[in-house]
Amino acid sequence: MEKEEWAVLCTLYIEEHLKEDLSVERLSAWAGYSPWYFSRCFKERVGASPMEYLKQRRLFAAAREIRMGRRILDAAMDYGWDTHGGFTKAFVSQFGYSPVYLRAFHFRDASMKGEIMELSLKKMELYKEPEELFAELCRTLSENGTVFEPENLRNLYELAADAHKGQTRYSGEAYVTHSLNVGIILADMGADIETVCAGLLHDAGGAGGTPEEVEAVIQSYKEFNQTGACRDDRGALVALADRLHNMRTIEFVDPSTWKQRAEETLKVFSPLAAKYPDIRLRSELDDLSIKHLTI
């Protein structure tokens, strides 16, 4: 197996065998390398050790089943935990709350919102009007306690809208809806206001009137796109939010490009996402990539 293929093939193999007794020895034997060499190369390319990555994917898979009404112990045992207590400890460490809350959440009225972290970052419906998305952006910032000046934020939103005036996405939506969705993803992750504003203006083509610190983050984002690295981690975070929204709307682009985009996401963006504490980002990128590699 070529080393360049690992980021895709290994993650796909793990996804297909989540409920089986996987070990470094089994994975390395499948790949045709020694456990030590395999583990080192896997971490270099995926951003986590094989067992760390496997544990994360199992926890998310179990969480989804529990959220849909599955008994906690049944889901835990299916994904490799022997006891309720052991699974709960791992779950709390990953998500910050007990799986009992997810189980209870299942029995609530579907229209009610819980006060626990969702399993994915905030996702807006298609064909929302830009003003609706801007209102959601402000609401998300407020909910997360991010300090911002509404008037300044609106000025930058209008700057982005003006820069993209007359442009549409493949979905037919006004292009600025992409900018707003990137901002919402960043706000939901708890990014600082400069990063959120950079998300609004990341592809505005050098629109004038951008605050100096916001412009610095945008330049860092452009640097990442050109070289795969940047001096300011916030630029990489904008690139990740940009990629996530593009993957969420991938069905509107040419299907012949889906595999290439999914492979690039697994090889480049998922390992980068592993460096950030909000695991929802990496999990959703992986889910979307694997989905479009197996269609």
pLDDT tens per residue across span 153-182 = 999 999 999 999 999 999 999 999 999 999
Residue in the block written with tokens 């801007």: 134
SS3 73: helix
* pLDDT score for 115: 45
CATH code (residue 191) = 1.10.3210.10
Element housing 197 (H / E): helix 193-201
From 69, 91, 106, give the residue that closes a domain: 106
> pLDDT higher for 124 or 7?
124
| Average pLDDT along the chain | 87
- Within a domain: 237: yes
Q: How many domains in the chain?
A: 2
Are residues 100 and 159 located together in one domain of the fold?
A: no
- Within a domain: 124: no
Task: Report residue 145's pLDDT band, with 50, 70 and 90 as the boundaries.
Answer: confident
- pLDDT over threshold 70, residue 119: no
Amino acid identity, residue 242?
Answer: D
Are residues 147 and 264 located together in one domain of the fold?
A: yes
Are residues 134 and 101 located together in one domain of the fold?
A: no
- Within a domain: 121: no
Domain that holds residue 206: 130-293
pLDDT tens per residue across span 22-62 = 999 999 999 888 999 999 989 888 888 999 999 999 999 99
- Within a domain: 77: yes
| CB atoms inside a 10 Å sphere around CB 21 | 7
CA dist 83 → 88, 89, 90, 94, 232 (Å): 9, 10, 11, 17, 43
Q: How far apart are CA 224 and CA 243, in angstroms?
A: 12
Are residues 152 and 260 located together in one domain of the fold?
A: yes
